[in-house]
Amino acid sequence: MGRARQFAWAAYDHLGSLFLFNALWGLLSLPWLALGGALFSVGMSLQGELAGPGLAISFLLGAELVLFAPPGLLLFLAGRSWAAGQEVQARALLKEVRRLGGRAQLLGLLLVAATSVLLVNILFYQRLGGWLGLALSGTMLWLLVALLLGAVFFFPVLISLDSGVWQVLRQSFLLAFDNPRAAIGLLLAALLILGLGLATGIGLFCGGLSALALLVSISFRRLCFKYTGEPLPEEPPRQWRELIRPWEM
């Protein structure tokens, strides 16, 4: 409940910044959006029994390609500041993106490659049929879920540790496996926002991804205090009257 309340107030306090940074992300992500759109169009063009699986696979791979790229890192850098109640300076964040962008892109490419391998294995083992094919495809599916749960923490861990890709991967998966409830909740939130964004067409550019980065950043920050043993900073009491304060005369 505390995490939800903190997210709601933080999102309200930085509502304008959520939209602005989401718009900036959209501009910077145009090359990746073009690649993701091309991949999605390939999935939509498939016919027959491959139409359904192909569309789902292209959507997942396209989303990973777009989100796990240097522009996506910008949202998580801003989300870290918002979660801590700090002001965000776009110029400083862009400098951080340039410094960490190579590692962020490598993480994204590794995620897309691993997801592709697992999806191909799932389809292959399903075609085997029988209990063996079912067992093997089920195993690949659970590995895919584990991969996505760990991916939720890729960028927050990269920003926090500022270390190599292997260390980021290791810490992300350990964090997800030690906190499955938080990881599952964040993954479901991400899928919901992506689904709404796809359904509306412009939903991804109206603050949804910034809000997701803020939610992940808040959860990650609270988990960090859990491992350091330090108490969470006390939140100042907030009043519902603050919701209408900007419009008061």
DSSP category for residue 48: G
Q: Which is nearest to 216 in space by CA: 196, 190, 193, 181? A: 190
**Does the pTM exceed 0.75?**
yes
Q: Exposed, middle or buried, 83 (CB in 10 Å: 0-12/13-18/19+)?
A: buried
CA distance 155 to 172: 9
The whole-number pLDDT of residue 128 equals 80
pLDDT digits (tens, 9 = 90+) for 44-87: 777 666 667 777 788 888 889 999 999 999 999 999 999 888 88
The whole-number pLDDT of residue 59 equals 82
| CA 7-25-153 angle, 5° bins | 50
3-state helix, strand, coil in the chain (%, to 5): 85, 0, 15
The whole-number pLDDT of residue 37 equals 84
Q: Is the pLDDT of residue 173 over 50?
A: yes
Write b or e for each residue in 183-194: b if 16 or more Cβ atoms lie within 10 A of its Cβ, otherwise e. Answer: beebbebbeebb
Tokens of 225: 């205090």
Q: Is the pLDDT of residue 125 over 50?
A: yes
Question: In the structure, what pLDDT confidence band is assigned to residue 183 with cuts at 50, 70 and 90?
Answer: very high
The whole-number pLDDT of residue 249 equals 35
